[in-house]
Amino acid sequence: MIVGSISENREIEKRIAITPDVIKKYKSLGIEVYLSENYAAHLGINDKQYETEGATVLKSDEEVIAKSDAVLQMMLPNKDNLSKLSKEKILIGVLNPYLNNDILKNTISKDVKCFSLELLPRITRAQSMDILSSQANLAGYKAVVDAFSFFQKAIPMMMTAAGTVSAAKVLVVGAGVAGLQAIATAKRMGAIVYATDVRIASKEQVESLGGKFLTVEGSENLETEGGYAKEASEDFKEKQEELLKETLKKTDIVICTALIPGKTAPIIIKKNMINVMQSGSIIYDLAASQGGNSELTKVNEVVDNNGVKIMGEANILNKLPTSASNLYAKNMFNFVSNLFNKEKKSFEINLEDEIIKKTMIT
């Protein structure tokens, strides 16, 4: 069996699905790896490195798709490449079926089996494949580093002969994987960190990292069985808004990470709340690509609202593509390994397997 991967659209996605260090893992299963020419040249990885590990490098995307039983990607390929996928081939990636519904319907109608890794169930057996966790972890770290680079004051408290510099106050909105890493990173750099989340279970996690959890009075636990956040009631939103507005008056940096799978990101930081923030403060919105947690967020722009800067990256991991690719490639291998029948040496769509059933797009 053969797995292949073609170059992504590097203007919007620099991560890759196959790195040199996973080639031998595929070959140990009896799976060959085909890649398009200059597949990872933008990351400083040349074709020779792949060939040394045992991969085959082909001249064109078309050739890779034609010869591969499964095509492994980061993003959904463009329409031209999708049209080249023939019957019974497999496509695996972050396909975002909620946004790409019509395109995927057409692909699936040709009996192409499509698997979207962001739909993985949060079960113990799927942890090694969990791309949301591996990628969000890096995103939370990078958001803090970027926000601090824009902030024009020192982060930790400093006591000098000339006087004391106060520690920066950071608020993290959403305490999932990205939020928890943001808390940990900000604390390591000396900030005072507050956090809020609709899931009550996250309180203990926040406090274990040294953060102070902001609890909405009479709050309900808004967590799905799968461990994700679900939409809050209007009453909760009103109470949360009052609490955040008071907190934001003394906050220097806000890191927004709140997302609901398959839906537009909830607007948590409204304009009237931003208006009470001190000039020079920063809002870094990791939810920008899904609409943003801040009412003023614009994708790939820095918005200035009376001296408060609101930053929204479409894909923050394009700033850490090598680290992100290394983790993603391992997640991908673990998923492919689960899909591969090692005795029959072929891919097997076992819909009794929760991992396969939940990620397959029908």
CB under 8 Å to 94, separation ≥6 — which residues? 74, 75, 76, 116, 117, 118, 131
Asked whether residue 282 falls in the same domain as residue 327, the answer is no
312 and 327, same domain (yes or no): no
Q: What are phi and psi of 329, to 5 degrees?
A: -60, -35
Whether the pLDDT of residue 22 is over 70: the answer is yes
* Active site (catalytic) residues: 122, 127, 130, 133, 228
Is there a single domain that holds both residue 250 and residue 351?
no
Max mean pLDDT among 117-126, 197-206, 215-224 falls in 117-126
Distance CA 189, CA 141 (A): 11
Q: In the structure, what pLDDT confidence band is assigned to residue 309 with cuts at 50, 70 and 90?
A: very high
Whether residue 245 is found in the same domain as residue 257: yes
Note the pLDDT of residue 259: 85
Q: Does some domain include residue 124?
A: no
State the pLDDT confidence band at 222, using cuts at 50, 70 and 90.
low
The runs of H, that is alpha helices, within the chain are 20-28, 47-53, 61-67, 79-82, 101-108, 131-150, 177-188, 202-208, 234-248, 271-274, 321-339, 354-359
Q: Is residue 151 part of a domain?
A: yes
Q: Is residue 128 part of a domain?
A: no
**Cα angle at 200 between 197 and 205, to 5 degrees?**
80
Q: Answer yes or no: is pLDDT of 13 > 80.
A: yes
Indicate if 326 and 305 belong to the same structural domain.
no
Residue 129 in domain: no
Give per-residue pLDDT as tens, 142-167: 999 999 999 999 999 999 999 999 99
User: Alpha carbon 262 to chain centroid distance?
Assistant: 13
Residue 237 pLDDT more than 80? no
- What residues contact residue 50 under an 8 Å CB cut-off, 6+ apart? 20, 23, 33, 35, 39, 40, 57
Pair (191, 272) in one structural domain: yes
Mean predicted confidence (pLDDT) in 34-63: 97
The confidence band for 311, taking pLDDT boundaries of 50, 70 and 90, is: very high
238 and 290 fall within a common domain: yes
Instruction: State how many domains the chain has.
Output: 2
pLDDT score of 235: 77
What tokens does 256 get?
Answer: 């927004």
Under the banding of pLDDT at 50, 70 and 90, the label for residue 135 is very high
Query: What's the confidence (pLDDT) of residue 199?
Result: 82
pLDDT over 60 at 227, yes or no: no
Task: Specify whether 338 is located in the same domain as 286.
Answer: no
Residue 219 scores a pLDDT above 70: no
Q: How many CB atoms lie within 10 A of CB 29?
A: 14
Chain segment 161-178, per-residue pLDDT in tens: 999 999 999 999 999 999
Shared-domain flag, residues 264 and 350: no
Look at the block and give the residue holding tokens 């990205």.
178
What's the mean per-residue pLDDT of the chain? 93
Contact by Cβ (8 Å): 148, 253: yes
Where residue 216 falls among pLDDT bands split at 50, 70, 90? confident
pLDDT of residue 229: 56
166, 269: one domain: yes
Q: Which domain CATH number covers 226? A: 3.40.50.720
Regarding whether 233 and 159 lie in a shared domain, the answer is yes
Question: Does residue 131 form part of some domain?
Answer: no
- Same domain for 201 and 102, yes or no, is no
Specify the higher pLDDT residue, 199 or 94.
Answer: 94
Range of the domain at 335: 2-119+321-361
Whether residue 126 is contained in a domain is answered as no
